[in-house]
Amino acid sequence: ISFEFIKVKSYVNASSTGDVRISLSEEELASFRGKDLLIVEDIVDSGATMVALTRRLRQYEPASIKVVSLLLKKTPRSNKYVPDFVGFAIPDDFVVGYALDYNEVFRDLDHICIISETGKKKYAA
């Protein structure tokens, strides 16, 4: 068993930019060839980021890809992507805490909560 940490970013403020950035190099991605991958995700919102990530990873021919997510947001913006394993389904609100951030803030909370409109304005990028 080995671990790789991949930073995947597609949000600024509370909106997806549509641009999915992956922190690994081509050489690092190529090392996944023939391996079974388990992606551990904090939240799946629209599903666009995970679809883009798994599509990119498949280019490197892993043996398999499975996705587990702590949270799955029930939103009309969803592309209907559902991870292989889900902890909790949540309503269509922007949540922070327990490693979930809003512009790099609130990641260190020991609980998950909905950020208010006041909080969004105060911590906007």
- Distances in whole angstroms, Cα of residue 63 to Cα of each of 8, 66, 73, 106: 21, 10, 28, 36
Give the pLDDT band (50/70/90) at residue 86.
Answer: very high
Measured CA to CA, the distance from residue 31 to residue 25 in angstroms comes to 10
Q: Is the pTM of this model over 0.75?
A: yes
Q: Which of 3-17, 39-53, 100-114 bottoms out in mean pLDDT, i.e. has the lowest?
A: 3-17
Measured CA to CA, the distance from residue 24 to residue 37 in angstroms comes to 15
pLDDT at 2 over 90: no
What average pLDDT does the structure give for the chain? Answer: 90
Q: What phi-psi label fits residue 19: left (phi over 0), alpha (psi between -120 and 50 degrees) or beta?
A: beta
Return the pLDDT at 11: 60
Q: Which among 19, 42, 45, 93 is annotated as catalytic?
A: 45
Q: Can you tell me the mean pLDDT for 69-91?
A: 95
* Residue 45 a catalytic site member: yes
